Amino acid sequence: MIEIENLHKQYRTRHGGTVEVLKGISLQVPAGGITAVVGPSGAGKSTLAKCISLLERPSQGSIRVNGQDLSLLGGAALRRERRAIGTVFQSSALLQRKTVWQNVALPLEYLHVAPPAIARHVGELLESVGLADKANRYPAQLSGGQRQRVGIARALALKPAVLLADEATSGLDPEATHAILHLLMQLRDQFGLSIILITHEMDVVRSAADAVAEIRDGRLVQQGEVSDLLAQPGSRLGEQLFPVRALPGAGDLLLQVTYGTRQPVATDWISRLSRQFNLHIDLLGGQVERLGDRQAGRARIAVRFAESPVSAQALVQALHALGLAAEVLEQAPAWREAV
Ligand SMILES: Nc1ncnc2c1ncn2[C@@H]1O[C@H](COP(=O)(O)OP(=O)(O)OP(=O)(O)O)[C@@H](O)[C@H]1O
Ligand SMILES: [Mg+2]
């Protein structure tokens, strides 16, 4: 469990002033949870990563791992407790002249762990990341995805409680990205890790994260469980996660429909709705996916009535009964007058 509270970070500028890059960030990731941190370039994501991994000292705020505040520590205590947080960066800085095995062994050798214990642990780590057969290769002989796996194995060498990944899948093709995310989810379950995944890719968030936090200009502007954000009709992150690309149609009533409640939704909800009220319903666009045991996604529908209109409110209620949240985007006068 990691709890970040009211984290501020100021940097000194060259002219003797200061610039505040993080302006009070609070974030919690439970053991066994994956939280994605997203936001535009320059928002402060990597600065947050550096503060969490204690490479940079926060100007204010606390970082507690399993209850212990690491931001208060210094010297030997800091070096010891920093092990609770493993980090993986975009271009995992592997030592080019050392083999995969030696790279993963490095943090253990640094702590003077006994060689037989190192041998055993490195063997297990390489097994966990699927690189047991590449132990004697050098980084230059690996693919980008394999290099990231070495970085992940090395980050896990000291048995951290938290794994922090800053753009760990950037630059990888979709297949390698998927494999790394799958690995992270597996390691989370195996070791009960709290994982913080910094990324600019919404696909990454959708496929791996339980929760997401958006940073803009040093502040958290939106935060929540992925499935809850999807279920909020007005959520900007929900919209980014499941963009509905279709343009508004000519329907008299335009509705945005959101999946994401725990209630299962019948696949034929459109025809059910259309039969119930004698309506023509066009699906203008949308995307639905399964997130764990929940369905999530959004759709946009255009509704025209055959004989008599139904109130928009009645439609919203009927959709709700089908397990869907709905929001009226546009309403033609014919509908409004009917109510
Ligand atoms: N050492 C530093 N001294 C002064 N300013 C810094 C320093 N490091 C970062 N910054 C500034 O802090 C802001 C946030 O940078 P940061 O690297 O955290 O952004 P980011 O969200 O990771 O962006 P990206 O998506 O491009 O990686 C930027 O405006 C950057 O110029
Ligand atoms: Mg960055």
Mutational test site, ligand 1, from 14, 21, 89, max ligand atoms within 8 Å of CB: 21
Exposure of 18 by Cβ count < 10 A (0-12 exposed, 13-18 middle, 19+ buried)? exposed
Q: In this structure, is residue 237 part of a structural domain?
A: no
Query: Atom 1, ligand 1: which residue's CA is nearest?
Result: 11
Look up residue 296 and give its two tokens. Answer: 């999530």
Are both 264 and 207 inside the same structural domain?
no
Are both 143 and 183 inside the same structural domain?
yes
Taking residues 283-302, report their average pLDDT. Answer: 81
Inform me whether the pLDDT recorded for 244 exceeds 80.
no
Query: Interhelix angle for 269-277 vs 312-321, to 10°?
Result: 140
Are both 221 and 247 inside the same structural domain?
no
Are both 218 and 285 inside the same structural domain?
no
Ligand 1 centroid – CA 41 distance (Å): 8
What's the number of domains the chain is made of?
2
Whose atoms come closest to the Cα of 89: which ligand? 2
- 282 vs 30, residue with greater confidence: 30
Q: In this structure, is residue 83 part of a structural domain?
A: yes
Confidence (pLDDT) at 245: 52
Q: In this structure, is residue 232 part of a structural domain?
A: no
Q: In this structure, is residue 215 part of a structural domain?
A: yes
End-of-domain residue from the set 169, 199, 225:
225
| Lowest-confidence segment of 71-75, 91-95, 183-187, 252-256 by average pLDDT | 91-95
Ligand 1 centroid – CA 47 distance (Å): 6
Ligand 2 centroid – CA 38 distance (Å): 10
Residues 163-197: tens digit of each pLDDT: 999 998 888 888 889 999 999 999 999 999 999 99
Q: How many residues does the chain have?
A: 339
For residues 66, 71, 73, 79, the Cα torsion angle rounded to the nearest 10 degrees is: 80
Look up residue 43 and give its two tokens. Answer: 């928002």
Are both 201 and 247 inside the same structural domain?
no
Rounded to two decimals, what is the model's pTM? 0.78
For the chain, the straight-line distance linking the first and the last C-alpha, in angstroms and rounded, comes to: 51
Taking residues 147-167, report their average pLDDT. Answer: 93
DSSP, res 246: P
Look up residue 143 and give its two tokens. Answer: 């693919």
Whose atoms come closest to the Cα of 43: which ligand? 1
Are both 102 and 154 inside the same structural domain?
yes
Are both 183 and 62 inside the same structural domain?
yes
Are both 195 and 319 inside the same structural domain?
no
Q: What residue numbers bound the domain in which 256 lies?
A: 242-338
Model confidence band, residue 55 (pLDDT cutoffs 50, 70, 90): confident
Q: In this structure, is residue 233 part of a structural domain?
A: no
Are both 145 and 259 inside the same structural domain?
no
Are both 123 and 252 inside the same structural domain?
no
Mutational test site, ligand 1, from 10, 12, 47, max ligand atoms within 8 Å of CB: 47
